[in-house]
Structure 1
């Protein structure tokens, strides 16, 4: 299947677009959204990749975060992919739980059956999707940053730390900082990657921070009223690991904010400004 447009809308003098295509990496149809600022009419623009969290599709961020106004002002594109492969042949959590399977790809390459055929979101985000975007849209792929929320924050941080040459900056809202040390991550990693925890370490931000030799600008916002803060997110562990590795990060604890897109919308402008500073 070639790239097919699903919808388009004028937004802050730019365009909010949605497409479907067949992914060879995921072996299924995939949808993504892309915002093109008005500057894209004049030539190639920088791009921010946004990775969403559990249960989300490409549309949650687009409709709830209010990012288009800031992206338009700074002249950057935003690409928002789906969070997992989808389709009638794509396996899901047998218990239909929200934290595994469809809508919960965890931005890794699965090694275990039956997940390994489709659940290769890492390769999709790092390789296939950027190549497609660069070939079809006025995007300067040498000027890329990445951001995300919750599971997507985990994805943004791990992908950037594993590929610092591809990104100018990385940011996250309420990221799962150490999937190896929380129930969400342990369930996902155990199923997707098996029992060998050496495979888990390849997708754990804390483990990657400890081994990183390059330094990217990192901005993280975390609400202190987030009901997942202690059990699932564990930002204190990331702060400790960064200090031990002498890896500078900006971790801001925001008073009274929860895990929702109201939180994301409150600070998305600052995150886009942060990325624009490193992209422009």
Structure 2
């Protein structure tokens, strides 16, 4: 007997089911304490759908102001979300394996948006025909607001970091133009290229929206394009054979600086203006067959 079988047949689970059958107060406690409304829909007479009082209260209405009719909630849901919900509803009725589970937006009575996770399951007769739909609502408005606040913060941080890196790069460039010592100018140029490489990595992280993993091959493509865009002497073919691994920020930064350094040195000392050359990047993990 598996662990799942033991859980399914646990005596407390069976006892709770029996108590719910005989004591309506237990059912009310469960739905009021853990959910923000439940609903029960007659699929054989779809004009009848019971909505628990908590759902209407969530949207700012007194339960007595609303009828037990699908049109009541459909008039308050975002049109795009209604389309999604109805599409999932039809797919779930056709195939029980398709989940009826989506996040939708409702308009509160006072006008603000209420974010709700809506889940449901069809109850079928012996022939498999859907006859009822049971569902539950969870208010996730606070969670959505926190996500929005975090995204705004990350956007602001991105702008600040990007602007600061651009300013530093520009200052180094201006300083280099003022110097006559070629060795000093070369050092400043290398520093500027390193800063540009880090700036490119930051841009990739922000665009990726994950802020944790970067596709190294894609990053390498942009890095090499930027590095060789200023190389005007000779005919150099750039090949990026790096595997498209997702790497964390620290490792991507280190490898990116290495590639940038090697490419810079190759442009300085490895190519001549009268010959064709190839600059190739290879990156694999131990055990790869490539």
Q: TM-score range by the shorter chain?
A: under 0.3
**TM-score, scaled relative to structure 2:** 0.21
Higher CA-based Rg: 2
**TM-score, scaled relative to structure 1:** 0.22
Greater RCO (Cα-Cα under 8 Å, separation 6 or more): 1
Which one has a larger percent helix, Structure 1 or Structure 2? 2
